[in-house]
């Protein structure tokens, strides 16, 4: 019998997750279906109840429901607790397990696909919203030395506070510092706005990683001008999906052909 999965969001029509999971299923021979479901803004919990009553095995959760998913899970992973958000749910007889695969997706894309090891590297994380919360613990677990900068400095301080050795503050604090990896987790690119980074922020051979994909952001252009290697977030999207697929199916798909297919 085909096991059913879905991604829930609002809006959801743009989601690439059904295509990605269909490619994973074909590649690994797993008999699953995966659809996109748009839940009403006030109807997330009811949608989860419906999926459980219809014997779905699990779902992914995207904007704006990741925090609600966190609240509805009966069992939450360490990395989801650190993120204070859930993007992957597993349904069982006894309850709902919540996990967050976003940070693992970022780390895997940087280390496996791009080939940059994070151990011992100076990493700057820009932004202190939901996207940043999702990746702090996995970056630290990969051995990165982390600094967080945000337009509203107090939010970066708050995000950094639970983690020893992590500093949070404003962009002004970055003058004269250099980083091996700079991750843009702000939404500035959506409005074609630049993030106020000082010149010389990139160490020689640095990687500039924008979690956004499908557009050249001002951050990417700036990083290129400064001589950094530049990557967008498509690999992260596919790697976080692969991690969810692994949680559900116990099989890790080969992401390289899927990344190539989506870039094509
Ligand atoms: P998400 O869930 O995508 O992280 P969010 O919670 O709204 O979205 O957070 C957006 C992040 O992008 C915030 O860190 C925001 O900075 P503020 O906390 O100061 O608002 C950051 N951001 C958005 N536009 C920006 C801009 N033009 N320059 C710098 N940072 C920006």
| Catalytically annotated residue among 16, 66, 121, 155 | 66
Alpha helices in the chain (DSSP H): 17-28, 44-53, 66-72, 78-83, 102-108, 130-133, 136-141, 153-160, 218-225, 234-249, 256-263
How much distance in Å is there from the Cα of 60 to the middle of ligand 1? Answer: 23
Residues of the chain under the 70 pLDDT cut: none
Give the per-residue pLDDT at 138: 98
Of 136, 151, 213, best ligand 1 pocket probe by most atoms within 8 Å of the beta carbon:
151
Instruction: Establish whether residue 62 lines the binding site of ligand 1, counting it when its CB lies within 6 angstroms of any ligand atom.
Output: no
- CB proximity list for 28: less than 8 A, separation 6 or greater: 245, 249, 251, 253
Of 100, 126, 127, best ligand 1 pocket probe by most atoms within 8 Å of the beta carbon:
127
Q: Which residue(s) pair with 210 in the sheet?
A: 184
Helix, strand, coil shares, percent, the chain, to 5:
40, 20, 40
Give the per-residue pLDDT at 188: 97
Domains of the chain: 3-100 (3.40.50.10860), 103-235 (3.40.50.720)
For ligand 1, atom 5, which residue shows the shortest CA distance?
129
Give the per-residue pLDDT at 254: 98
Give the per-residue pLDDT at 33: 98
For ligand 1, atom 21, which residue shows the shortest CA distance?
186
- Tens of pLDDT, residues 210-263: 999 999 999 999 999 999 999 999 999 999 999 999 999 999 999 999 999 999
Give the per-residue pLDDT at 24: 98
Give the per-residue pLDDT at 250: 98
For ligand 1, atom 7, which residue shows the shortest CA distance?
129
Q: Is 66 a catalytic residue?
A: yes
Give the per-residue pLDDT at 233: 98
Shortest-distance atom of ligand 1 to CA 132: 4
Give the per-residue pLDDT at 81: 97
- Tens of pLDDT, residues 57-77: 999 999 999 999 999 999 999
Give the per-residue pLDDT at 190: 93
Instruction: Establish whether residue 187 lines the binding site of ligand 1, counting it when its CB lies within 6 angstroms of any ligand atom.
Output: yes
Which among 81, 87, 90 has a CA at the least distance from the CA of 100?
A: 87
């Amino acid at each position: 019998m085909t096991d059913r999965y879905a991604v829930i969001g609002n809006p959801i029509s743009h989601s690439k997750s059904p295509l990605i999971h269909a490619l994973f299923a074909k590649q690994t021979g797993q008999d699953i279906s995966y659809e996109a479901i748009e839940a009403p803004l006030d109807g997330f919990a009811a949608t989860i109840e419906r999926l459980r009553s219809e014997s779905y095995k699990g779902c992914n959760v995207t904007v704006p429901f990741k925090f609600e998913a966190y609240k509805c899970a009966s069992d939450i992973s360490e990395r989801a607790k650190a993120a204070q958000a859930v993007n992957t749910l597993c349904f069982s007889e006894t309850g709902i397990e919540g996990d967050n695969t976003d940070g693992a997706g970022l780390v895997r894309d940087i280390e496996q696909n791009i080939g940059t090891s994070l151990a011992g590297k100076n990493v700057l994380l820009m932004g202190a919203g939901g996207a940043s919360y999702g990746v702090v613990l996995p970056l630290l677990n990969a051995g990165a030395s982390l600094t967080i900068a945000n337009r509203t400095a107090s939010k970066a301080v708050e995000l950094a506070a639970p983690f020893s050795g992590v500093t949070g503050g404003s962009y002004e604090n970055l003058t004269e510092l250099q980083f091996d990896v700079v991750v843009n987790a702000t939404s500035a690119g959506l409005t074609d706005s630049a993030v106020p980074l000082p010149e010389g922020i990139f160490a020689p051979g640095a990687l500039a990683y924008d979690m956004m994909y499908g557009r050249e952001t001002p951050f990417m252009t700036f990083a290129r001008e400064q001589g950094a290697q530049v990557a967008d977030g498509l690999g992260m999207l596919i790697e976080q999906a692969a991690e969810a697929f692994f949680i559900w199916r116990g099989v890790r798909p080969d992401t390289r052909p899927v990344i190539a297919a989506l870039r094509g």
